[in-house]
């Protein structure tokens, strides 16, 4: 029998995205979290609940639910909980070369204006980026999440938005849609997709695609994979096989997207009838 008087356990999980080198951490601490230290990366995090107390830039600071934490490379900081319930947070460690590339190739002028920020859009972008790293998401999903994160960080870093590339040939979006249909079960990133369809870069491609179809390449890819999964399930193919055949990383990955889209599991859909129309056409 477990000791009911035992103190609550601290929990920390870390995962690294091999392509970008970005590390994602999610943790809960109930007392002392870590001693004074520093990192070589840019740290961006969001507190989910509790009071996250830490020393940084010459003062003790407290982050509460929804607040964003921004720490530059080399800035010393510690961490502790102020209450017995502890605090829970997610954090991303962004390599300096990754951020430098996203901000136009130079970072000498960059710096966080404040250590704490009330920016729910940036907080949501941090959380989504963490989820893609922990979830082993497709390269296309990870690229989209990291691009959104970088854009949300610009104002906090004092960086100006780059001049957008010309929109170019409007047929780029059509070629991208054709590519998604032909390679829906194959993992690829936004850069590879942009090169394949002749776009100037991934950002030009994303703008053209959204203007033509009202969504992102990744969202469209998920729709195509879900349509393929539903067709296979109707043929009584087991969900585990469906996941791989449709381009999802595994059965749980398919299940998460399937429930979000249709409100039921792949297994339930495979067994019976639903009110979801079978003849829906994508991007008609």
Domain boundary among 134, 157, 180: 157
> Does residue 151 share a domain with residue 40?
yes
> Does residue 32 share a domain with residue 146?
yes
* Two tokens, residue 145: 């999440």
Q: Which residues make Cβ contacts (< 8 Å) with residue 174, sequence separation at least 6?
A: 212
Domain assignment present for residue 283? The answer is no
- 80 vs 57: CA distance, rounded Å: 16
Domain assignment present for residue 279? The answer is no
Look up the pTM and report it. Answer: 0.76
Q: Where are the alpha helices (DSSP H) in the chain?
A: 96-102, 120-134, 139-157, 171-182, 190-197, 202-213, 217-234, 239-246, 251-262, 266-271
Domain assignment present for residue 85? The answer is yes
> Does residue 180 share a domain with residue 146?
no
pLDDT for residue 226 is more than 50: yes
Domain assignment present for residue 242? The answer is yes
Among 172, 202, 174, CA closest to 190: 202
Domain assignment present for residue 192? The answer is yes
Domain assignment present for residue 119? The answer is yes
Q: What is the pLDDT of residue 135?
A: 86
Whichever domain contains 30, its CATH number is 2.60.120.10
> Does residue 90 share a domain with residue 62?
yes
Classify residue 252 by its DSSP letter: H
> Does residue 95 share a domain with residue 146?
yes
**Domain, as residue range, for 248:** 219-271
Domain assignment present for residue 166? The answer is no
The domain tally of the chain equals: 3
> Does residue 137 share a domain with residue 16?
yes
Q: What is the pLDDT of residue 276?
A: 47
pLDDT for residue 204 is more than 60: yes
pLDDT band per the 50, 70, 90 thresholds, residue 6: low
Conformational region of residue 219, where left means phi above 0, alpha means psi within -120 to 50, and beta covers everything else: alpha
Q: Is residue 126 within 8 Å of residue 92, measured between CB atoms?
A: yes
pLDDT in tens, 250-268: 898 899 889 888 888 998 8
> Does residue 192 share a domain with residue 63?
no
Q: Is residue 110 within 8 Å of residue 123, measured between CB atoms?
A: no
> Does residue 93 share a domain with residue 28?
yes
Q: What is the pLDDT of residue 279?
A: 43
> Does residue 198 share a domain with residue 68?
no
Domain assignment present for residue 163? The answer is no
Using alpha carbons, list the distances in angstroms from residue 158 to 23, 114, 153, 177, 213: 23, 11, 9, 35, 32
- 14 vs 25: CA distance, rounded Å: 4
> Does residue 191 share a domain with residue 126?
no
Q: Is residue 224 within 8 Å of residue 179, measured between CB atoms?
A: no
> Does residue 135 share a domain with residue 69?
yes
* Phi, psi angles (nearest 5°) of residue 50: 80, -170
Torsion from C-alpha of 282, 150, 191, 212, nearest 10 degrees: 30
Whichever domain contains 225, its CATH number is 1.10.10.60
pLDDT in tens, 112-148: 999 999 999 999 999 999 999 998 778 898 999 999 9
- 197 vs 172: CA distance, rounded Å: 6
> Does residue 114 share a domain with residue 237?
no
């Amino acid at each position: 029998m477990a000791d009911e008087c035992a103190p609550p356990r601290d929990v920390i999980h870390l995962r690294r995205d091999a392509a970008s080198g970005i590390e994602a951490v999610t943790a809960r601490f109930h007392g002392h979290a870590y001693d004074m230290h520093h990192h070589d990366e840019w740290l961006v995090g969001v507190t989910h609940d509790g009071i996250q107390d830490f020393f940084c830039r010459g003062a003790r600071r407290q982050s509460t639910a929804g607040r964003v934490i921004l720490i530059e490379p080399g800035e010393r900081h510690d961490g502790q909980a102020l209450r017995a319930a502890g605090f829970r947070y997610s954090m991303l460690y962004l390599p300096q070369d990754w951020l430098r590339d996203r901000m136009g190739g130079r970072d000498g002028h960059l710096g966080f204006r404040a250590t704490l920020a009330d920016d729910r859009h940036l907080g949501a972008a941090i959380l989504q980026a963490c989820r893609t790293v922990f979830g082993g998401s497709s390269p296309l999903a990870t690229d989209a999440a990291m691009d959104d994160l970088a854009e949300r960080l610009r104002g906090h870093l004092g960086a100006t938005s780059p001049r957008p590339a010309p929109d170019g040939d409007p047929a780029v979006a059509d070629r991208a849609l054709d590519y998604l249909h032909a390679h829906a079960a194959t993992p690829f990133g936004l850069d590879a997709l942009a090169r394949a369809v002749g776009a100037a870069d991934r950002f030009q491609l994303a703008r053209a695609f959204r203007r033509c179809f009202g969504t992102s390449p990744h969202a469209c890819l998920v729709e195509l994979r879900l349509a393929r999964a539903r067709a296979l399930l109707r043929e009584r193919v087991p969900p585990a096989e469906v996941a791989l055949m449709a381009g999802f990383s595994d059965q749980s990955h398919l299940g998460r997207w399937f429930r979000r889209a249709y409100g039921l599991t792949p297994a339930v859909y495979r067994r019976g009838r639903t009110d979801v129309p079978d003849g829906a056409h994508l991007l008609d």
